[in-house]
């Protein structure tokens, strides 16, 4: 009995709203794709790579030195005196500790910068989405969906808007024309 009442109420609600639903415009944006493929996202990635390349090279150089010292200890360790062997092992241990610290700090700094840049890209993307929503009279735009019909996917429009605009200030000037 309760199921029938619920089904009846649902039918009334859905049936009554069908006239309004006809002019309700929905869009969906794949945020991950925007963050991967848009011009600002690609530029941010290049900027970060350039910013961190020096530290990355420094870490790679230290890794190479540690491997060379390890190889030298394995090959020539028996020829070294006990004191020299211990000194080289201490040097290798200190080098590995420094390397681990540098790698950890590098990862932390890199993640922090990526998050900062992604926040900026997301801000631009949200402005582009707002501009598209205003220009094309969308009632609702969702970010992410389990399933989306390609007809309502506006991700390509957002990526194109981000490529052609700086978004800030231009969305208002387009609407006023």
Q: 77-130 pLDDT, tens per residue?
A: 778 888 888 898 899 999 999 999 999 999 999 999 999 999 999 999 999 999
Checking if the pLDDT of 6 tops 80, the result is no
Percentage of the chain modeled with pLDDT above 70: 81
Provide the mean pLDDT of the chain: 84
Asked whether residue 5 is assigned to any structural domain, the reply reads no
| Residue 57 near residue 170 (C-beta atoms within 8 A) | no
Asked whether residue 1 is assigned to any structural domain, the reply reads no
Sign of CA dihedral 117, 122, 31, 175: negative
CATH number, residue 124: 3.30.910.20
Asked whether residue 43 is assigned to any structural domain, the reply reads yes
> Can you give the pTM of this predicted structure?
0.69
pLDDT at 173: 40
Per the DSSP assignment, residues forming a β-bridge with 26 are 140
Which has the minimum average pLDDT: 23-32, 127-136, 143-152? 143-152
Q: Quick one: average pLDDT of 51-67?
A: 95
Asked whether residue 150 is assigned to any structural domain, the reply reads yes
Asked whether residue 28 is assigned to any structural domain, the reply reads yes
For the chain, the domain total comes to 1
pLDDT at 145: 85
Question: Which domain does 166 fall in, by range?
Answer: 23-176
């Amino acid at each position: 009995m309760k199921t029938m009442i619920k089904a009846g109420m649902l039918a009334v609600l859905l049936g009554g709203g069908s006239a309004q639903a006809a002019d309700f415009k929905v869009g969906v944006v794949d945020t991950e794709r925007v963050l991967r493929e848009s011009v600002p996202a690609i530029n941010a990635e290049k900027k970060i790579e350039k910013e961190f390349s020096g530290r990355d090279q420094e870490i790679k150089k230290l890794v190479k030195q540690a491997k060379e010292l390890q190889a030298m200890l394995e090959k020539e360790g028996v020829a070294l005196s006990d004191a020299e062997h211990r000194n080289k092992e201490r040097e290798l241990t200190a080098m590995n500790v420094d390397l681990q610290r540098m790698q950890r700090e590098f990862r932390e700094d890199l993640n922090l910068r990526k998050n900062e840049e992604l926040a900026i890209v997301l801000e631009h993307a949200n402005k582009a989405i707002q501009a598209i929503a205003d220009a094309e009279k969308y009632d609702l735009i969702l970010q992410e969906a389990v399933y989306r019909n390609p007809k309502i996917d506006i991700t390509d429009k957002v990526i194109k808007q981000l490529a052609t605009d700086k978004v800030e200030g231009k969305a208002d000037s387009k609407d006023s024309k």
